[in-house]
Structures are given as structure tokens and as C-alpha cells.
Structure 1
Amino acid sequence: MSHNGAACLLKDGRVAVAIEKERLTKVKNDGGNDALAIAYCLNAAGIGWDEIALVVQNANFGSFAYGNHWYRGARTIPEGVPVETISHHLAHACSAFYLSPFDTAAVLTVDGCGNAFEDCMDLDGAILPERPEGEMAALWFEKDSYYAASGTGIQSVFKDFSPLGRFQCDYPMHPDTTRHSIGGVYAGASRYVLGSTSDLGKLMGLAPYGQPGGFRHRIFDIRDGRLFVDYGWMQDFRARMHSAADFKARFQYFADVAHMVQGEVERALVELARARHALHPSPNLCFAGGVALNAVANTRILQETPFEQMFVPPAADDSGLALGCAYHGWHGILTGEPARHDGSPFLGRSYDGDTMQIERALQVAGDDLIITRPADPIEAMAELLAEGRTVAWHRGGAEFGPRALGHRSILADPRRAELRDYINAQVKFREDFRPFAPAVLAEDAATYFELDRDSPYMLFVVPVREAWRSRIGAVVHVDGTARVQTVRRETDETFHALLTAFKARSGIGMLLNTSLNRRGQPIVETPVEAAELFRDTGLHALVVGPYLVRKQP
């Protein structure tokens, strides 16, 4: 029930369904009360509260002192259903380890702010470099935690806390909550540069436009394995973004700020990961918390620390807390049979068999349309994409997490560099500096990218091989990198088939893949929402269920 609220339903230790609240309310990063998300899960599974064995919950602030019938609105949990509350960083850690392919691993949680020290229930056995006492315990919050995980157990190794500091300084880039967290600094910088913290990935996309020598401030200090923010540098930054016009007029200044902050975040994470590895060495690292969505930093952690393998869950942000809570309930409270997730990010309900919804979607898509039911939708899509069309694809259950991975996607030909500007301006209505990601056949990934591992959730940024940069311009960022999604036949046979069909026409087993939404809106959930987006934007075609919908030329 934090921001990015979500609910997840486990059946016999397996994910039956999961949904982010924002997909239902259409309010970006919506959180708090969980009644809508819970109702969605129960309805999708076709069950009632009498079949629920346990509820496990978490939110950033507070431990539900007012009881379980009210949390930012009336809740729906009836009397008699057991309810457990776990701490924030533990929920993140569970979401990473129990979704990972590892039997044993170290788990690192890094974010802007977790639970207060007095609300943490995972302190036993952990190294606590600083223990707040008395009334201060309510004013110190989790900033990074490190765990040892094996089988069905997760044990705290090291937990670090930071005091609140929002009102201690009037600098425009000051973090919202904790004084000494990586996520807090990143959020403060995002607000300074972009005027919002609604999509922190924008800052990562802007950073490569910055000049390496633009600013040389040292933001973070690592002392005795602990991370601190050095606030002296903030006095030099008192000219935050005031409007879109202001951002464009001072683009290079803001790009230089983003470059400095991104570089310092990468450095801090690498040093932090090295220090934690020394406390509990493991070849495998699971990484969670909102900071783990920084795909550039993820690549550096894997390359520059002793960890040999790394897993970042598709919902590393607070939406993933729902998965972590559920798995903790199964393994840690109900002590059910060992169960691990199969890796699928497609956890929403499917509408493919809902004829009424799809027909309604076709009605709202518009009047002057060409609607067909092709014998082979994959071949029809590949043909349109090879012709330079932008295609919206709505199928199966929605992705859980902020990245569209082929179920709620906008697809295009990566060879056509002009499509990047077209989609930003005519489809997404977003800033023109933002890049697009390539989805690529896993077996071909090393041909185009300096990539020696799977990247199924778009959470690693790697260099594009020099020979290909000019040939796939729509998905190459200004610094020659790309945030890659690898697609394997055994994990997504349909998407793999589309990439294969496109390769047969183009010679390239790759497509531009971006989320099916527009600026400021969550990814669409229903066929009707997909049709409305198709109607109101410059998309050329929509594939929903068995139907292919095109606009008249």
C-alpha cells in the first residue's frame, strides 16, 4: 500500500494473478488503499474471502496502527482473515529472491525510504552500524539492507538507517524524505531537472546528453561501508526547472546535472555492492528497491563487483512489494511447500477470450477503420512493421512492473530512425530526448549488442556494436547504448515468433518495443483502453485478440 500500490494472489505458492493499482484507477503511481487491487485479484481467480488463508501487507510509513479496516479508505478484509505486516526492505528482498533463478544468493535492497526503525521486524542477526534509541527510532528509516538467502529463508546481514531531513534544508534539489539515501537524491534531482518524480527513468535517459566535465561535484561519501550524502554541493544548484519552455531553453544545463547525478549514483552503488559483498560473499546477487530500475547502474554493478550473476525483478519498485509480501507469507508464515516463480512477468488477467470486451473495444476505436481477422496475425503484423507502421499489441495478461515486454506494447521497425521522433511526438506525446528499447531474439542478441547474458525485463543497458549503430538508429541512444529485452522461445513463444517473422523480412531479429501508453498515463489494462489510445494517437494499427485494426490511409 505504498506508492505504486499493488496486490498479488498466490495459490499453492504460485502466482495466480497480480495487478498494479495504477492500471485500475488510471492514476500514475497510485497507491494507498488496496480495495480495488484486491477485488481485481479475487475476481480474476473467481474466489471469495472464504478461500483466503492469509493476508500480508506493507506500506512505506506506519504499521497500520488504526487497524486493518481503514488505510486511506475503507478496506475489504473481513473479520477472521489473518493479517500480517512485514517491513519494507524485507518485502523488497522477498520479491527479488523468490522470483530469481538462484537457490542461494545475496540480496541488496536500495531505495529512497523504507520503514521506520521501530517498525522493522527483520533486525535480528543483522549488523546495525547505528541504532537509534527512544523517540528517535520513529524518525530513522531504512535506506539500504543486505540479506543472505537460501532455499526458503532470508536472513538479515546488514541494515542501515537514515534520519529524516526534508525540512532541514531549503535547497531545491533536497531529497523528500531520508537525508542519506541514493533513491532520495535521485528523486530530488528528478524534481529539480524535470519538475516531477513521476518517472525517474527520464533522468537516466537525459544523462547521456550531459557533458562529462559539466559538473564535478561529489555527492556521495562511502565511509566504513556506509553511504552518506555530502550536502555541501547542493548550494550550487538553485535554478530548478520551472516549465517545459524553461527546460528547452536550458537543456544543456539540465542534461549536465542529470549526467553528474547519474554518474554519482552509479559510483555509489558499485562501492556499496562491493562493501556488502565483503560481509557475505556470494556469486549471485538479487537487487530490489526503486533504485534497482536504474539499468545503467545495474550493468556496472555486474561488471565492476565480485558478484558473478545478478537478478533484478521486473517490478523492482514498490509495486513488487505485493509479490514479496505474498511469498513471505507462503514461505515464512504458512511454511508451505517450497515454490519458486517461473520468471513470467505477465501476471494480469487475460482478456483474449472476453469477446464482449474486444467487440466493445472495436466500437470505441473509431468508425473509419479497416477491421480484419487475419488467418495468421503474426505474419500480418510482421508485414505491417516491415512497411514502417507502428503497431499496438494487446494480448494475454499484462506485465507486472513498469516495462512493457510484449503484452501491452507499441512495436516498430528499429531500422527506421525517424520512427523514434514520430512515436515520441505523435504517439507517446513525451520529451524528444527519451530513447526506446529494442526487443531482440535472445539467440541473436550478441550480434547487435555487447551482451553476454539474458536481459528479459529491460533492466540492463549495454553498448550497441559499432557496426550496427547506424542500422538500428531507432533504438540506439545518443551514447551508443540500448536498454535491451531478450526474448526466448521457451518463455514467450508468440513474441519470439513475431521477431522471427520480422527477421525473415528485414534480416534483423529485433523490434522497437515501448509501453502501450502516453505521457503521464499508466500502461493500458483493458482492450477498450488500448482502443482508445489507438484512436487518439498516431498509431497505425492495433492487434487485440484475433483482430487487426488499421486506420484508413
Structure 2
Amino acid sequence: MSKPIYVLGTGLSHNGSAVLLKDGVVCVAIEKERITRIKHDGGNDTDAIQYCLDTEGISLEEVDLVVQTANFEIPDRDRFHGKRLFAGTTHPKLISISHHLAHAYSAVGTCDFDECVVMVIDGCGSPYQQCMDVSHGTVYPENLEDLAQKNLWCEKDSFYHFDGQNLVPLFKDFSPVESGSSDVLKLPVTSHSIGGFYAAVSQYVFGNMDDVGKLMGLAPYGKEGLIEKEAFEFSEGSLLVRTDWQDALKMPSTGYSFFKAHFQYYADVAYWAQKQVEKAVTACFKDRLKRFPHEKVCYSGGVALNAVANAFLLNDGIVHNFYLEPAAGDNGLALGCAYYGWLEVLKKRKVKHHGNTCFGKTYSKEEIRNALKLVPENWTIRQLETKAMLAVTAKSLAAGKTVGWFQDCCEFGPRALGHRCILAHPGIEGLGDHINANIKFREDFRPFAPAVLPELASKYFRSGRKSPYMILIDHTKPEYLEELKNVTHVNGTARVQTVDKNWNPLFYRLIRAFQEESGTGVLLNTSFNKKGMPIVETPEEAVALFRESALDVLVLNDTLVSKK
């Protein structure tokens, strides 16, 4: 038997991660935040890399190639330095690639297409001087080489063609790094990026530029009319952020109490910002696909996590055969680095990706038994056969119980897709509010996702399209609004997850068992964490949150824990 080829990818950014490929297939991947328990943690990659090596049972010396992406020259990134596992070694070989290149390779490495185009849109990529993909295609502005001598210019969107082996840039747009003109609203880093704009509004509304997902959830509560001006203008293929609208925002949130007291105002701001993002993303896609028509489109970068804008692209017929990379944010950079190493450096053929996102460690029975020692003595612990566990769990859910669901290895990416979930009935009155208040400990406007059997998606939702990664919204059909009230947002939309029987057979079987008990082929699914906390990684963390919160039942693989 020949020695396997290992390629390690690492992303030195916020939302840091490490990914290990074995013969072109992901064998382990982990986000740093899952280990350190610090939300959006990044910087030094030692913890994430060691996790991958330990899980695979190999040493660093057995790795053939390491590929990283790191914006070391961007201000305030000093924390990304520090002693690393590679310090003082010449093997494995270590190479660096630029930011958008890593995003693009994360999409083409995991997509089902043999040939496609790739769009990358985010807040800030690599500086022009560090980009490895500016010698081909169109680079905007045209005089960027001269401009970059005077100021720092970074990637904001890029468009590529992939032929099954090689990735070629077609159009790249850059923005200067500078603060916005408003004293109240400062656009972070790249002043003309869509991601930078949305992050700035998130900072204004919530006091945190990382709460862009929360901003998307707030938008449906808003209405139009607060701000009449457009945020973007399009010029020669480049999106530019206007400044004349910024003076309309004079009341940044000073905390949650202030936010609640002015809820409608901030909802209206969020509504406007979301509409601006949808328009901007649409303009980018229309322009690039007019220049370079193609039926098969991949999409990555942080803005690709905006499920509302993604659905708009499909609903409006702008894209047709569309692949959304589930780890589209900076947590997916390591994935792209690894695939770059396999496809571009080693010149190996692409190995078909199975579509699943569960790449973490599988915890042993002994590790689960040790975690169960933290359970109070007066609670019930039952070790069941899988069929019995599914039946008991389904009955509990049908009766209105909330369930912490922990199965095997963790998902890679921001969504819990059936392995680290909080589950509940989608239609029992008040259950959603209870989860937000007493289990997730978060704001009451935050929505929940429906996990649905794929064959029933068209029954409950308007488009019924395949949406395995929970990054597309759909509309709940009017006749099911009551039955699915806990997973339908205030505007009738739902961020649907269609549960693939082949990728996640156990979760599929649970939804089927719940359907038999309740008559509904949908479960409320939200990530197994509380506000400000990463998704649980270990059995101990699952037990700890179970104890702290109002969860009724905890399922650790086939072990079921109930509170008395």
C-alpha cells in the first residue's frame, strides 16, 4: 500500500481554522473557536493544526505540504504572528497564497462541477502586492499598480473560471483601505466592499461588526422609508460605496437596552441595509455573468452567507446551477488552501467531494461516559439502541420537549446541520420564544431554521429547492404558517435545511420518526450553543450547556439524558 499524501491548509484570519486532506479528500477539519471557546477566534493556528494531526493520528513530519493564507501586512494583524508548529523546520514545505484565491479554491474543491465560474465577495481580501492572481484577466482600477504604491488596496470581489484542474482569474476589483467619512459610521478596512458596508451597519446597530447574521435576522422587522438614498453606485464594473447616506445615521446603539428602546428604528436601518446588499450583490453577478456567461456558478466569501441575497439571485433567474460553499466565510480559507495545494501545487486530479460538512473528531464511548459524570444523580441516563433512541427522542419532541442533539463529529462551518443541534417542535405555541430566552439566552427577534425531509420541501415551502447547508431562504406556504410558526420568520420566510439521507442518515431518520409521531416532516433546528458562544465541540461542553439551560433532553450519540 502506498503512503497517503497529506496536504494541510490553514487560514490565519479571524474565524481561523485548519483542514487536512488525505489523498485529496478532507479527513479532518476544525475551526479554532471550537477548541478555544472564543467566538470568531483566529490568529495563531497551532491549536487547530494539532487537533487535525491528533485526530488523524499522524505527526507533522508525515504531512507533505502546508498551504496558508495570511494578510500579515494589514494593520492590527500582529496577533496572527507567534510561535507555530512549523518554527525552525524545513519539512513540510510551507507556501502562502492570497485571500480570494483561498476562498475560490474552497468552492471549486467541494463543488459538484467539473467546470464552472466562481464569485468571491467579502469584506476584505489580500493587499494588491500580495495577490498571486493579478497577472490575468481584468483588474480594477486600471491604474491600480500606481495607486498601490501610495496606499493599501485590498481585494473586495473576484471572479474566476475553473476548468476542473486550473483556476484562472477573470475580473478582480480592489478598494483602498481607509475609514469612512462619517464620525458615527466608519466603514471598516475596505471602504468600498459589500462585506465592509454590512459590517459597518452591524457595528452601528449592535455595537459589533461580526453580528451581520443577526442584522439579516432583524431586517424583516423593518420597513422602508427611513433612508431614501442608495448605498452603492456601479461604475465600469466596480461597486463603490457612496457617502451621502451616512449622515442619515446619527444614533449608534449604545447597548441592548438602548437597542430595545429604539427597536423599530434599528429594524428599519437593518431593512434598508439588507436591501442595499441584495442590490449590490445582484449588480455584481449580473455584470460578471454578462461579461463571462456561464450556467454553473460557485459562490464564496463572507457575503455568500447572506441567505436572503442568495435566494434573490436564484428567484430572479440571475443564476441557475448554483453552488454555495457552506464555509464561505474566513473559516473556509483553510479548506481552500488545502485544495490549492492538492490541485495547483501537487497537480493532482480533483477527487469528488461527497457533500457532507462533518469533518471533526468522533468522540469515543469512554469520552462520553466521562462527560456523563457531570450529570446530577437525580437525572435519568439511558443507553439505548439506535432505533429506540430515535423513537424516544421523536416522542419527546412531539410532546414539546427541547432536545440537545450531539452526534459523532462536528460540522465545519457556521451552521449546525444535524450533529450539534438544539431541536424542537416547529409548531407548538411559545416554544421558539422559550428557546431564545431560556436556552440560547439571546434576543427575542432571532429566527430558527426548519430542517425538512427533501421529499417534503415542496409541500411546505414555495420553491421547495434543495438547500442542504441552510444558506438559502424560502417562503413557507400560507397553509403551513401555523404548523411551522416557530421556524417561519415574521415576513413569512424560512432559512431551510433539506436533510440529505446519504449525508446524514441518522438526522433524516429522526425527522422521519418525528413525522410519524406528529404528522409534520419538519423540525426546528438551531445550533447547540448560547449567545456569544461557539457551537459545542465536546461531550463535556454539551453536558455543561444542558445543565445551564432549560433544555429538557440531551442525546449524546445513543445515550439519552432527561431532567427530572
Tell whether the structures are fold-level matches, with TM greater than 0.5.
Answer: yes
Q: Does 2:372 align with 1:362?
A: yes
- Mapped to 1, the partners of 2:286 and 2:183 lie a distance apart of 31
Which of the residues 216, 225, 228 maps onto 1:204? 216
Which residue number in structure 2 is paired with residue 154 of structure 1?
167
Q: Does 2:484 align with 1:475?
A: no
Which residue number in structure 2 is paired with residue 530 of structure 1?
542
SS in structure 2 opposite 1:548? strand
Which of the residues 65, 72, 79 maps onto 2:81? 72
SS in structure 1 opposite 2:526? strand
Output the amino acid matched with 1:359.
R
- Mapped to 2, the partners of 1:60 and 1:169 lie a distance apart of 25
Q: 1:420: how far off? A: 0.6
Could you say if the C-alpha distance between residues 20 and 292 of structure 1 is closer, same or farther in structure 2, counting changes exceeding 3 Å?
Answer: same
Q: 1:313: how far off? A: 1.3
- Mapped to 2, the partners of 1:155 and 1:290 lie a distance apart of 21
Which residue number in structure 2 is paired with residue 10 of structure 1?
21
Could you say if the C-alpha distance between residues 280 and 61 of structure 1 is closer, same or farther in structure 2, counting changes exceeding 3 Å?
Answer: farther
- Mapped to 2, the partners of 1:260 and 1:417 lie a distance apart of 30
- Mapped to 2, the partners of 1:159 and 1:141 lie a distance apart of 10
Q: How many residues align?
A: 546
Determine if contact 1:365/1:534 at 8 Å carries over to the other structure: no
Alignment of 1:45-64 (within 5 A): 45-62=56-73
SS in structure 1 opposite 2:268? helix
Alignment of 1:78-477 (within 5 A): 78-130=89-141, 131-133=143-145, 136-137=148-149, 139-166=152-179, 169-351=181-363, 354-375=364-385, 376-477=388-489
SS in structure 2 opposite 1:335? coil
> Unaligned regions of 5+ residues in structure 2, if any?
1-11
Which residue number in structure 1 is paired with residue 503 of structure 2?
491
Q: 1:135: how far off? A: 7.2
SS in structure 1 opposite 2:245? helix
- Mapped to 1, the partners of 2:197 and 2:375 lie a distance apart of 42
Q: 1:287: how far off? A: 0.6
Cα displacement string for residues 461-507 of structure 1 (whole angstroms, at most 9, x for unaligned residues): 11110110111111010000000000121221111100110001111
Output the amino acid matched with 2:365.
T
* TM-score, with structure 2 as normaliser: 0.94
Output the amino acid matched with 1:461.
I
Output the amino acid matched with 2:156.
K
- Mapped to 1, the partners of 2:46 and 2:429 lie a distance apart of 44
- Mapped to 1, the partners of 2:429 and 2:176 lie a distance apart of 47
Q: 1:151: how far off? A: 0.7
Output the amino acid matched with 1:227.
L
Determine if contact 2:72/2:80 at 8 Å carries over to the other structure: no
- Mapped to 1, the partners of 2:161 and 2:314 lie a distance apart of 18
Could you say if the C-alpha distance between residues 172 and 551 of structure 1 is closer, same or farther in structure 2, counting changes exceeding 3 Å?
Answer: same
Alignment of 1:535-546 (within 5 A): 535-546=547-558
Q: 1:214: how far off? A: 3.0
Output the amino acid matched with 2:155.
E
SS in structure 1 opposite 2:148? helix
- Mapped to 1, the partners of 2:433 and 2:83 lie a distance apart of 45
Output the amino acid matched with 2:178.
G
- Mapped to 1, the partners of 2:178 and 2:474 lie a distance apart of 36
- Mapped to 1, the partners of 2:455 and 2:354 lie a distance apart of 20
* TM-score, with structure 1 as normaliser: 0.96
Once structures 1 and 2 are overlaid, which stretch shifts more, 369-378 or 480-489?
369-378
Could you say if the C-alpha distance between residues 145 and 305 of structure 1 is closer, same or farther in structure 2, counting changes exceeding 3 Å?
Answer: farther
> Unaligned regions of 5+ residues in structure 1, if any?
none
Output the amino acid matched with 2:54.
N
- Mapped to 2, the partners of 1:417 and 1:315 lie a distance apart of 33
SS in structure 2 opposite 1:98? helix
- Mapped to 1, the partners of 2:184 and 2:356 lie a distance apart of 40
- Mapped to 1, the partners of 2:464 and 2:530 lie a distance apart of 32
Which residue number in structure 2 is paired with residue 24 of structure 1?
35
- Mapped to 2, the partners of 1:19 and 1:368 lie a distance apart of 35
- Mapped to 2, the partners of 1:499 and 1:545 lie a distance apart of 16
Q: 1:71: how far off? A: 4.5
- Mapped to 1, the partners of 2:350 and 2:470 lie a distance apart of 28
- Mapped to 1, the partners of 2:476 and 2:257 lie a distance apart of 32
Q: 1:537: how far off? A: 0.3
- Mapped to 2, the partners of 1:507 and 1:10 lie a distance apart of 42
Alignment RMSD (CA, Å): 1.6
Output the amino acid matched with 2:335.
L
Q: 1:61: how far off? A: 4.0
Q: 1:60: how far off? A: 3.4
Q: 1:169: how far off? A: 2.5
Q: 1:152: how far off? A: 1.6
Which residue number in structure 2 is paired with residue 38 of structure 1?
49
Identity of aligned residues (%): 45
SS in structure 2 opposite 1:301? helix
Output the amino acid matched with 1:363.
K
- Mapped to 1, the partners of 2:317 and 2:337 lie a distance apart of 29
- Mapped to 1, the partners of 2:532 and 2:276 lie a distance apart of 27
Once structures 1 and 2 are overlaid, which stretch shifts more, 529-538 or 133-142?
133-142
- Mapped to 2, the partners of 1:415 and 1:129 lie a distance apart of 50
Output the amino acid matched with 1:142.
E
Q: 1:134: how far off? A: 5.0
Output the amino acid matched with 2:275.
G
Q: 1:300: how far off? A: 0.7
Determine if contact 1:448/1:465 at 8 Å carries over to the other structure: yes
Determine if contact 1:171/1:235 at 8 Å carries over to the other structure: no
